[in-house]
């Protein structure tokens, strides 16, 4: 089991290394997105039927969250601190709303245990990606 995880993580990091070098920061990289989906779904123990229903929903969920996260990131370009504070709170509330709405939709397809595994795997993927970026200095 550990050997599979280690091998998978090594493969993931190798692919990320080449992908990140060519990544356009303005758009999500399809290779990173595919790696994330593989990483997350691999930790969820989905059936084939669940996978077919889950993936389109997960892509919409990810796209909506990414859109809001980018808006938050772009707030630093606004000179008004008051606007930044207010808008950041509004956008963070929007993220909570998105997560709540999709939680109900996800639970129509997968179990609560699988959903918890999804949330955990997303955090793990982010940590793996950040650690890789730190090590490579990119």
pLDDT at res. 18? 39
The phi, psi pair for 55, rounded to 5°, reads: -60, -50
Cα gap 9→25, rounded to integer Å: 23
pLDDT at res. 86? 92
CA neighbor of 36 nearest in space, from 136, 138, 135, 123: 123
User: DSSP letters along 52-109, please?
Assistant: HHHHHHHHHHHHHHHHHHHHHHHGGG-S-HHHHHHHHHHHHHHHHHHHHHHHHHHTTT
Averages of pLDDT over each 10 residues, the chain, 138 residues: 50 43 54 93 96 97 93 86 91 96 97 97 94 84
Helix count and strand count (H, E) for the chain: 5, 0
pTM of the model: 0.76
Cα gap 43→96, rounded to integer Å: 23
pLDDT at res. 5? 55
């Amino acid at each position: 089991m550990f050997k599979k995880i280690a091998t998978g993580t090594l493969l993931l990091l190798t692919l990320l290394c080449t992908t990140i070098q060519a990544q356009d920061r303005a758009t999500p990289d399809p290779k990173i997105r595919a790696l994330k989906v593989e990483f997350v779904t691999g930790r969820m123990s989905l059936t084939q039927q669940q996978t077919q229903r889950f993936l389109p929903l997960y892509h919409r969920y990810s796209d909506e969250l990414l859109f809001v996260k980018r808006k938050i990131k772009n707030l630093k370009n606004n000179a008004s601190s008051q606007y930044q504070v207010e808008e950041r709170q509004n956008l963070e509330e929007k993220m909570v709303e998105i997560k709540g709405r999709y939680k109900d939709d996800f639970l129509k397809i997968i179990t609560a245990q699988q959903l918890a595994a999804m949330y955990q795997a997303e955090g793990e993927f982010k940590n793996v990606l950040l650690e890789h970026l730190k090590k490579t200095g990119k």
